Amino acid sequence: MNTVSDLWHQFIVISSSVIFIYMSVVIIFYSVLLITSIFQLRREYQLDDEEPYEEILQVSYSKPVSILVPAYNEGVGIYSSVRSLLSIEYPEYEVVVINDGSKDNTLEKLIERFNLVKTNHVIQKKLETKEVKAIYRSTIYEHLIVVDKENGGKADALNVGINVSRYPYFCSMDGDSILERDAFIKVMKPIIESDGEVIASGGSVRIANGCKIESGEIVSVGLPSKPLVVMQIIEYLRAFLMGRIGLSKHNLLLIVSGAFGVFSKQWVIEAGGYSHTVGEDMELVVRLHRLIKERKEDKRIVYVADPVCWTEAPESLTFLRRQRNRWHRGLFDSLWTHRKLMFNPKYGSIGLVSMPYFFFIEFLGPVVELFGYLIIGTSTFLGGIYIEFAILLFLLSILYGSVFSMTAVLLEEWSLRKFPKVTDILRLFLYSLTETLWYRPLTVMWRCEGILHMLRRKQGWGEMIRKGVSNE
């Protein structure tokens, strides 16, 4: 008869083996993504050098775009964000700011700074939304429109923006973001050159904390002093440069960041617009992929590494925890809503690769990791043969976390070089070495907490306090 000790030993051995196999599969998958990203990023970088963007600047060649900026209590940074958009390099565009019932001075600041006046603007209500109170137009900038509406959430604000906008393509942006002047030319290039094949294009999102920004423009790129924010910078580099490039290469991308993405308005309207979920940006992309497959159309959704949108990152554990909790709930919402795609050959690689990847690796990954940390701690405490399991799992977690993050930092320096100071690259590299020791376990716990909140059907975004990314 097995003793408690024998059963515990079997449990540790089986659990460690399962976690080892799982993490090995994940590491192999990420390694394939990394190799794909290296070749793709370098190829695109060299092409960009050889093929400048002058042709896109010609009105006859480009496609007009509506830039939608949903804003809720963004009074601190809204002026700088809009200023940056009004000075971008692109032939024909309009900026539509949607004030989603803000309780602060967001609307008042816009009216004052941009000399807004009410206008009679005809709205083609193709998507159902909350009531629009008023529409303003700037007397200084003809291409700036501000919509004041009842509070309905980010998805509702974006749907209002789609109804109000005039142009066939729209870009969704966060109200606290700063766009590089040439970012729009770069993110629109695959759409323009594909002749309708590409229906959505997303750019990179980087963290503005620590950068010097004046009058809505990036003056110099730098690192913040807070380790928590530096780790988020590394995390963003890894997610965008390693993950999204690899997925985009094979049309497997299920996320176009809500902070910076361009979409075909016609396709989004036919898909039903943005839905009222926690992760409305991912849910829309999954729905677009679903529509493409069901119509048997040859359309693509791509990611472009170089165009950069700079945004403010949480600087406290409290707000970062809320953000990651919300992101994970949003991930599950999208996966659950479109669960019929999972392993469904009708939806091709989206059903057979993308959906399983996001469920088994992105969604369930934190649960497996947390269990691995518990096994490591327990094995270390028990000593003996369990130490071997602890060391093995710890080495795997370092490879899974820190090594891939260090590679992303090197990939940034090798290709895009957004950080001009060598000391900044060294700091990023050294911080990435510590990821497995403190930052990754924190994010794992927060994401697992998101799963618990999801099971308890907790809704909402959670309050986020903005400091503002620049001086006005």
* pLDDT by 10s per residue, the chain, length 472: 467 777 877 887 788 888 888 988 988 999 898 888 888 877 766 554 445 566 666 655 678 999 999 999 988 888 888 988 898 888 899 999 999 999 999 999 999 999 999 998 878 889 999 999 999 999 999 999 999 999 999 999 999 999 999 999 999 887 677 888 888 888 998 998 888 899 999 988 889 899 988 776 788 888 999 999 999 999 999 988 888 888 998 899 999 988 889 999 999 999 999 998 888 999 999 999 999 999 999 999 999 887 678 888 999 999 999 999 999 999 999 999 999 999 999 999 999 999 999 999 999 999 998 988 888 777 777 665 667 777 777 887 787 788 888 888 888 877 777 887 889 989 998 999 899 889 999 999 999 999 999 888 766 555 555 555 544 4
Residues 6+ apart with CB under 8 A from 256: 200, 201, 202, 263, 281, 285, 301, 303
- Please give the pLDDT value at position 385: 60
State the burial class of residue 323 (Cβ atoms within 10 Å of its Cβ: 0-12, 13-18, 19+). Answer: middle
Give the pLDDT confidence score for residue 50 in this predicted structure: 45
Interacting residues of 259 by C-beta distance below 8 A, sequence separation 6+ = 173, 174, 177, 205, 309, 311
Give pLDDT, residue 55: 62
